Amino acid sequence: MITARYHREIPQRYRLEAGKCKKCGFIAFPHRLVCPKCKSQDFETIRLSDEGKILTFTIVRVASDKFSKQTPFAVGIVELKEGVKLTTQIADVDVDKLEIGQKVKIVFRKIQEDGKAGILCYGYKAVLI
């Protein structure tokens, strides 16, 4: 069964929405209630860019049962133009040709099927530009 948390995170999962502190400009992804830099609680919602670069990555060759049919696959940290860092799967790529610094675009894809009902869960993944 899909958890309540999954539904609360839909703006981040589907629209890459972040909170930008109105006082100091810090961008929090996902949203935070209090700015870690200036302690303000006044945020505006912004939409993040869908382009960035790979900062680091790892190749998963042995995965849990849920993802075992997808191996090998890459998971990396991607930095978007605004400086926000995401941990995400890097999809549609030959994992042996991945390099740090490559440009990527964030796309929305199926992440998994949840439970016996097969409810589809979507989120973001990175693909090479």
Whole-angstrom CA distances from 36 to 19, 26, 105, 126 are: 12, 8, 28, 27
Confidence band (pLDDT; 50, 70, 90) for 11? low
Among the four given CATH numbers 2.40.50.840, 2.40.30.60, 3.40.640.10, 3.40.1350.10, the one describing domain 49-129: 2.40.50.840
pLDDT in tens, 14-53: 678 999 999 999 999 988 999 999 999 999 999 999 999 9
Q: What DSSP letter does each residue of 59-116 carry, written as one string?
A: EESS--GGGGGG-SEEEEEEEETTS-EEEEEEESS-GGG--TT-EEEEEEEEEEEETT
- Collapsing DSSP to helix, strand or coil, 43 comes out as strand
Predicted pLDDT at 122:
80
- Structure tokens of 111? 């992440």
- Secondary structure element (H or E) that encloses residue 10, with its range: helix 10-15
CA distance 106 to 87: 11
Read off the pTM: 0.82
Q: Phi and psi at residue 37, in whole multiples of 5°? A: -90, -50
Q: Where are the domains of the chain?
A: 1-48, 49-129
Handedness of CA 28, 99, 89, 64 (dihedral sign): negative
- What proportion of the chain, given as a percentage, has pLDDT over 90? 66
pLDDT in tens, 71-87: 999 999 999 999 999 99
Q: How far is CA 98 from the centre of its chain?
A: 18
